[in-house]
Chain A
Amino acid sequence: MISAAASMSALGLGLGLLLGAAARRFHVDTPPIVDEIEKLLPGTNCGACGFPGCRGAAEAVAAGNAPVSLCTPGGRDVALQLAEIAGPECGGGAMVATMAELEPTIAFIFEDHCTGCTKCFKRCPTDAIVGAAKQIHTVVPDACIGCDACIEVCPTEAIVRRVKPRTLSNWYWEKPQPGFGATETGVPA
């Protein structure tokens, strides 16, 4: 019985040491994934995440300094894709869950308050604002990515964030809730 215990312990110890040595000897450095991360990001360099452009954000995520939910214009889809690449060491897993299905928001300029100062026009990373000096500006909905840069800079607070309006062409039924005695399912959006 002593011999059995002794031989099993020796075996365990020996194999464990072998495994540890192998882990060290054959360690593979993970290749830099900054480029892959950057490809996933929208690439508009809007700065909403607080990092210098999308390249800066990619480096931060790769280094683990930023959560994967940092890109608001990219939304949940980008966060999920980043989580897949960046692996379990990345932060912000819990935040991705709460990001839920936020409706994409775009900026909207109240014409009554617009003075035509062109500050927003100069800041927009995708040129989604049209207008000239001293003329009322307006936002082109399809080009706006919801980075909120214009909202911060408007001196008369004429710009607000609005949910992108649904049209007949992009409307669809809501996801049905599972039953078990629940009452209404599928109330449309």
Chain B
Amino acid sequence: MSMFSLATLFRPSQFLTIRGGIHPEYRKQLTSEAEVIRMPVPPLLRVPLQQHSGAIAEPLVKRDDLVLKGQLIGRARGAMSANIHAPTSGRVLAVGHFTAPHPSGLPVPTITLRADGEDRWGEHLPRLRPEDADPDEIAAQIERAGIVGLGGAAFPAAVKLNQRKKYTLDTLLLNGAECEPYLTCDDRLMREKAEEIVDGAGIMARALGVARIIVAIESNKPEAIAALRQFSHGLGTPLSVAVVPTQYPMGSAKHLVLAVTGKETPARARTAELGVLVYNVATAHAVHLAVRYGEPLISRIVTVSGGALAQPANVEVLIGTPVTDVIDFCGGLIGEVDRILLGGPMMGQPVQNLRVPVVKGTCGILALAPWETRKSDPMPCIRCGSCVQACPCGLTPFEMNARIQSDDLEGAVKIGLMDCIACGSCAYACPSSIPLVQGFDFAKGKLAERQSRKHQQAETKRLAEARKAREEAIAEAKRQAMARHKAQAAAKKAAAAAQAAEAGAEAPPPVPGIATDVGKEARQ
């Protein structure tokens, strides 16, 4: 525990911002001064058909098809989905499944592409002049380009734009906070492509019909602040830069809205209900490319960093590039590697198979050494309250954890489990290294599973009843057919009997004792 780390603990600015939160060691200096490098096209790319929240896209190509760069290879399925485009020209090797860039290692439908090295563009999307286009056309263009939120959540951008129809919006808030340690992709983008970001923001503001654009940037990025402060308007909409204190998790949308506008989003509501819509700066840049140049979303900037990486850098990577290719491009791994993460260290997902691809939501690839992760065995909870102090949502993580450990999941929900944003501040601050966030994820997953099981039970009950009804209907039909048959047979019998009676009336009376044929017939 050096004196420097002790001194950094005392921070007066914390009193003026969002509650709680933590101040981790940012280590952004590893990559913050490195300009974005474009990585060469890798020989093999794997493009998952699900890189967004929502339904899986349906593949439009099959094996051995030749595709061009930017060609539509996966169509959005349904209202909540996104298009997938080919990142480079080449041949489709397979349309099957591959390991998802996810800790579970479960498979996801993936299109495997062998690049031909020529990187030939196909047909671009039709370009628009946003000054003349109307909001619906801009939204359609964004949807065609397959743009999703590039801050990590990968929510389809076009679907979010639909909020303009439900709520009155007045502010477009661009999230340039980038609160996670190590990550500098947004920082570099703001420094190098400020004009494009502002243009993209202006286009989105026009699509939404908002009155102002605010770009929120943390105070630890002075160059980015200066770069964006040079612009006062985005395509006619007034633009201003709001400097927010450097704190994790400032980048959380609801907390950012609170820090910038002073308004707190009610629980279970969206920021749109306050009139504010939040988008990442990289998403704005992608919108600029899509609308002005007709380029779909096929590449993104990724920060490759960590103590176990040879040459940390910010790399512009094609979607679908295997993680191992990116790491090799940055010099490979050195020393002891404790974890390889996709994303930042606070909310990033660990992966084991390094051949998984970079997807639209991958902000960072981190190779962390043991001295950075500071892993240690969990000890019992000492009720110190550090987690309560750190929680930006005002929850009591130690109490929720205690209830989850004793399997009282509903009790945990009662004290606010569903309001947890899983930022990880509590587990970061816990002196006993208790895996709090894992417990919350487990509880939320288990509750969702119970819910879906209940739903499934209701559905199967309905199926069983439908089957019973169907069988009863068949049985009933059978019974009726049987009854009809019987009735018919009886009627036939009666008719035959009547006939025989008539015939018998004309015939001579039968001699007693002698059975004549007529008598026999009549009796039958």
Any chain B CB within 8 A of the CB of A127?
yes
Whether the pair A173, B380 counts as a contact (CB closer than 8 A) is no
20 additional A-B pairs beyond A126-B463, A145-B457, A168-B108, beta carbons within 8 Å, are A42-B461, A44-B460, A44-B463, A75-B453, A125-B464, A128-B463, A167-B106, A168-B100, A170-B445, A170-B448, A171-B106, A173-B441, A175-B404, A175-B442, A176-B438, A178-B380, A179-B434, A180-B379, A185-B435, A185-B438
Give the size category of B's interface with A.
35 or more
Whether the pair B460, A145 counts as a contact (CB closer than 8 A) is yes
Any chain A CB within 8 A of the CB of B220?
no
Whether the pair B378, A44 counts as a contact (CB closer than 8 A) is no
Question: In the complex, A61 Cα to B96 Cα: how many Å?
Answer: 49
Q: Identify which of residues 147-188 in chain A touch chain B, using a CB-to-CB cut-off of 8 Å.
A: 166-168, 170-176, 178-183, 185-186, 188
A to B contact number (C-beta, < 8 Å): 102
Any chain A CB within 8 A of the CB of B394?
no
Q: Identify which of residues 460-516 in chain B touch chain A, using a CB-to-CB cut-off of 8 Å.
A: 460-461, 463-468
Whether the pair B467, A127 counts as a contact (CB closer than 8 A) is yes
Any chain A CB within 8 A of the CB of B444?
yes
User: What's the nearest-Cβ distance from chain B to residue A97, in Å?
Assistant: 12
Any chain A CB within 8 A of the CB of B103?
yes
Closest-by-CB residue of B relative to A172 is B445
Any chain A CB within 8 A of the CB of B77?
no
Top 9 closest A-B pairs, CB basis? A172-B445, A179-B378, A44-B464, A126-B463, A43-B461, A176-B435, A171-B104, A186-B438, A173-B441
Any chain A CB within 8 A of the CB of B450?
yes
Any chain B CB within 8 A of the CB of A29?
no
**Which residues of the other chain, B, contact A142 by a CB distance below 8 angstroms?**
456, 459
Q: Could you list 20 A-B pairs, sorted by A, with CB under 8 Å?
A: A42-B457, A44-B463, A46-B464, A74-B457, A126-B467, A128-B460, A128-B463, A142-B456, A143-B460, A168-B104, A170-B448, A170-B452, A171-B106, A173-B438, A176-B438, A178-B378, A179-B434, A182-B378, A188-B104, A189-B104
- Interface of A with B (CB < 8 Å)? 42-46, 74-75, 77, 104, 125-128, 142-143, 145, 166-168, 170-176, 178-183, 185-186, 188-189
- Interface of B with A (CB < 8 Å)? 50, 100, 102-104, 106, 108, 377-380, 404-405, 432-435, 438-439, 441-442, 444-446, 448-450, 452-453, 456-457, 459-461, 463-468
Whether the pair B459, A143 counts as a contact (CB closer than 8 A) is yes
Whether the pair A104, B453 counts as a contact (CB closer than 8 A) is yes
Whether the pair B106, A166 counts as a contact (CB closer than 8 A) is yes
Whether the pair B380, A179 counts as a contact (CB closer than 8 A) is yes
Whether the pair A170, B449 counts as a contact (CB closer than 8 A) is yes
User: What's the nearest-Cβ distance from chain B to residue A162, in Å?
Assistant: 16
Closest-by-CB residue of A relative to B436 is A176
User: What's the nearest-Cβ distance from chain B to residue A102, in Å?
Assistant: 12
User: What's the nearest-Cβ distance from chain B to residue A40, in Å?
Assistant: 10
**A42-B460 contact in complex given A77-B450, A104-B453, A168-B102, C-beta closer than 8 Å:** yes
**Which residues of the other chain, A, contact B460 by a CB distance below 8 angstroms?**
42, 44, 126, 128, 143, 145
User: What's the nearest-Cβ distance from chain A to residue B397, in Å?
Assistant: 13
